[in-house]
Structures are given as C-alpha cells and as structure tokens.
Amino acid sequence: MSLLYINNVCVSVCDKEIVHGVSLNVGEGEIHAIMGPNGSGKSSLVHALAGHPAYTMHGAVYFAGKDLHVCHPDERARMGLFLAFQYPREIVGVSLKSFLYAAYRTQHQRSKGEKRMSLLQFDRTLGGVLKDLRMDQTFLDRSLNQGFSGGEKKKAEILQLKILLPRLALLDETDSGLDIDSLRIVAEGVNTLRGPEFSAVVVTHYARLLKYIIPDYVHVMVGGRIVESGGKELAEELEKEGYGKYT
C-alpha cells in the first residue's frame, strides 16, 4: 500500500468546497510536487491532511494504512505526518529549543526500541543541524519565530523537520519569500533526508525550488482539481509556459 493514499477527496472551508475529487498516491521514499496558481486548493489540501480544524475533508484518505478521518491532528503528527507552514506562527514565551525538545519527546513515542536522546545528546544534535542550516546558536533561546525574518522562519521549519524525522513531510510553499541562498540551504536540508524512510509532498507556485529538490512526480492543480501529472520535466514546462492552458 502507498504511504499516503488519497482517493476522490474533497475539502471544504465554511461549507465552500475548495478541493474537488483529488486522488493521489505517495509511495515510500517518493517526492511529489503539487504546482498551481494562487487559489487552486494546494494549501487547503495539505492543511486538511494535517488535520487543521477549519477544513472539512471527505473521501478516502489513508496514511501508513490508517484512516486519517479517525485521527486527531496530534495523532497524525505522532504517526509521522509533518506540515511545514507557508506562514509559520510566532509563539511568544516558548523558546525554539524548548519547543523542539518537547516535540521530539512526544514524537519519540512512535519509535519502537529506539533509545531517546538525553538533553545533552539532543543539544549536540541540535548544534550540528544548526550549523548545516547556517543558523546561529542564539536562535535556540529566542521565542519561537518571534522577530525571525521570513528566511529564518523557513529554516526553523526545516530544523524541526530534521529533528523530528517524519515519514511524510507536507511542505506548504516553503520557498515563499526566500532569497536564493536561503532557498539552497532549505533545499539541502530536505535533500539530506531523502531515502526509503522519508517522503514529501512539496507545494509550490514556481519551479525554482524543484531545481534543488528534484521531484519524482509533478502534479498540476487548478481550480481544486489535479489536471495533469508527470515527471520532473513537467515542472520545467510550467516554468516556460505557465498555467494558461489549464484555465
């Protein structure tokens, strides 16, 4: 069975249907990109998958063989489903380090037979990941995302990704607002996780991110529907031609 199985899924917000009958299969170790213009339903789909309470989802949705309809958002996260936000929220009074360690301790509950890191070991691991992401250690003591630039917020999202090691990452326009250097650093962070135990769905408007995170499959979403699917070359076509032929 696919890691993520979606069949004829519809998503509504305030009784207005945004996503209309989407079907998608994401296998173990696969990277899928969903591309499309603003308002096409891409973000609504991944937020619904993560369990955002503002979204109502209908249709068959299974993650790791379990029906997501019966799973609360926290349970989905413990199962290994991760959502990186386009606009990460600020949490005043909670340091980035405290947030990460609490999330790690909770997430570790799904790991069978794996010894949990001590706080000292966790600090050492954090230090290595921060260095890879070109982030200063002082970020750990700051309130989560408070005063962070757009690029720093996105790096903090990838920091969470590399610490929590989810089975499936939903990356909602992670490239939004990034300069070229930050884009490369964020992409490198995702690429270091690629392998049979990590899959991702990358939501984006543009092909520039997909020059660094090479997808196995690309899907075009317009008007709440997937209108075409293909390989990485489809992203290159969209970069040249745009979405005009689908509208």
DSSP string, 161-207: HHHH--SEEEEESTTTT--HHHHHHHHHHHHTT-BTTBEEEEEESSS
Whole-number Å distance between alpha carbons of 66 and 135: 37
Mean pLDDT within 87-101? 86
Work out the average pLDDT over 218-236. 95
Is residue 109 scored above 60 in pLDDT? Answer: no
Q: Where are the domains of the chain?
A: 4-246
* Mean pLDDT score, 136-150: 86
- Residues 151-171 pLDDT 10s: 888 888 899 999 999 999 999
Write out the H or E segment, with its range, that includes residue 14.
none
Distance between CA atoms of residues 190 and 21, nearest Å: 29
Instruction: Report the percentage of the chain scoring pLDDT > 70.
Output: 97
- pLDDT tens for residues 168-223? 999 998 888 788 888 898 899 899 999 999 999 999 988 889 999 999 999 999 99
Question: How many other C-beta atoms lie within 10 A of the C-beta of residue 25?
Answer: 14
Separation of alpha carbons 162 and 71, rounded Å: 24
Fold of the domain spanning 4-246: Rossmann fold (3.40.50)
- What are residue 229's DSSP bridge partners? 219
Whether the Cβ atoms of residue 172 and residue 221 lie closer than 8 Å to each other: no
Is 84 exposed, middle or buried, given 0-12, 13-18 or 19+ CB atoms closer than 10 A?
Answer: buried
Residues 6+ apart with CB under 8 A from 41: 11, 18, 19, 20, 22, 221, 223, 224, 225
Cα-based distances in Å from 21 to 6, 39, 50, 101, 173? 9, 16, 18, 38, 22
Average pLDDT, the chain: 90
